[in-house]
Structure 1
């Protein structure tokens, strides 16, 4: 509780210090927070229905690609990871390729995605999926591989078939590690969304950042950066809320004295 109150006091102090420092320095590339907030309001939140036309053209497509790419990567990563974790021969065959693939920086494959999909949403989705799938797949594989043998033996005693064993034993036991990979993937999806829009998009938050830089609109550039930071905080908080709701049994089981 004391630590939380300290953070509540620290944030306003940091913002005031930022404002005073930038105003005294008068650096062209570091505008004060008040100018950044005013530019954010002008760009995105001063419309007749809160959002401006610019916000609809930039924020909504970016969020759509972010969630679509993240969802596709999570579904594919969990399915492939659990299959690899429960099959030793398949894991031995594929795992070297998996570690090679995750070692390749996603940014280096953007030219390949541009050639395959051209400029547009398919290229951006491919970049997001490739950048996001690896932590989900690896955590799902490790979680499914290291399920307590006693759980599997209990399922055998009760003569559970493969489908019920997967749904009632393997996935619940691997869920904490799967969710750890999903949480990492949220921030990666945001990063890949911005990078893909910097390279191959005519709309979106990343494109707006590149446009502000080319026009030397420094407050707009910082407005995009701050918006991305706030979006990352919001996505992380939403994911933690979902994780607590779905994995409350795991948290209570690990609590001291439980």
Structure 2
């Protein structure tokens, strides 16, 4: 309740300040929320209250983000576990991983534009290439942190390699894997919007932002920003829920703090 009360106080202060200022550039949040509802969530119940504008705006963006996140998560976890279980492979690959992780994600988008041209493949590829590194690095570190004593016990019990992976390595690496997934999720949201801001895009939230800015439709601009914030919060909450189910609330709460 305290967390929601802080948010409520912030919204009320914003509402009062915007109404007192009366600026067209900073509309009140209630007006923004009303415009967002009329624009995207005033459809029939059979369509989950989504309007045709929502289908053309929200669903393509979520589809690109989901594809990029799934590919980045799958490749990052697989390669990270493989690299983390080999000291030699980790020593050889670690400088490259750290270099690739340090490159600003938006800086790579022009490279993918040249290689893949504009369109969905370029957008998904830019999301995957930028979002895979947090998952890969954290998965490798989690695999390296597996207790050697447990591995020795597994060898004594003659567990097979798949059994050691499933019962020892993955459970030990899960907290670090989910830390990488949360970073990757935020990068996917950023790259999804950024790739849709480029020329050649014809749908998505980023395209709606640039189109509304061109038409000086500030209410739509603020509505898109509100939508992005809500999507980020909901997706992060969903991932935290999955993490608590698989890892446990104690490690999730400790890492969040």
TM over 0.5: yes
Q: Deviations over 1:116-150 (max 9, x none)?
A: 11111101101111221111011001000111111
Q: Where do 1:135-154 residues align within 5 Å?
A: 135-154=134-153
Q: Aligned partners of 1:189 and 1:20: how far apart in 2? A: 34
Separation in 2 of the partners of 1:235 and 1:14?
22
Q: Does 1:66 align with 2:65?
A: yes
Number of aligned residue pairs: 249
1:151-162 equivalences in 2 (<5 Å): 151-162=150-161
2:173 maps to which residue? 174
> Which stretches in structure 2 are left out of the alignment for 5+ residues?
none
The 1-side partners of 2:30 and 2:133 are apart by: 39
- CA shift, 1:6, in A, is 2.1
TM-score (norm 1): 0.92
**Structure 1 residue aligned with 2:28, among 32, 54, 63?**
32
Equivalent in the alignment of 2:39: 43
Report the Cα distance in structure 2 between the residues aligned to 1:19 and 1:107, rounded to whole angstroms.
33
Name the TM-score, length of structure 2 as normaliser: 0.92
**Cross-structure match for 1:23:** 19
Shift of 1:11: 2.3
- Check if 1:12 corresponds to 2:11: no
Give the direction of change, closer, same or farther, for the CA distance of 1:28–1:138 in structure 2 (3 Å limit): same
Q: Which residue of 2 aligns with 1:91?
A: 90
The whole-number CA distance in structure 1 between the counterparts of 2:129 and 2:89 is: 21
Deviates more, 1:61-70 or 1:10-19: 10-19
Q: How does 1:214-225 map to 2 (within 5 A)?
A: 214-225=214-225
2:108 counterpart of 1:109: yes
Whether 2:226 is the aligned partner of 1:226: answer yes
Hey, what does 2:184 align to over in structure 1?
185
Query: Residues 194-243 of structure 1, C-alpha deviation per residue, up to 9 Å, x if partnerless?
Result: 11111152110111011111111111000000000011110111111111
Deviation at 1:251, TM superposition (A): 3.2
Deviation at 1:42, TM superposition (A): 2.0
Query: Structure 2 CA distance, aligned partners of 1:90 and 1:9?
Result: 50
Quote the offset at 1:188 in angstroms.
1.4
**How far, CA to CA, are the matches of 1:197 and 1:210 in structure 2?**
9
- Root mean square deviation of aligned Cα: 1.7
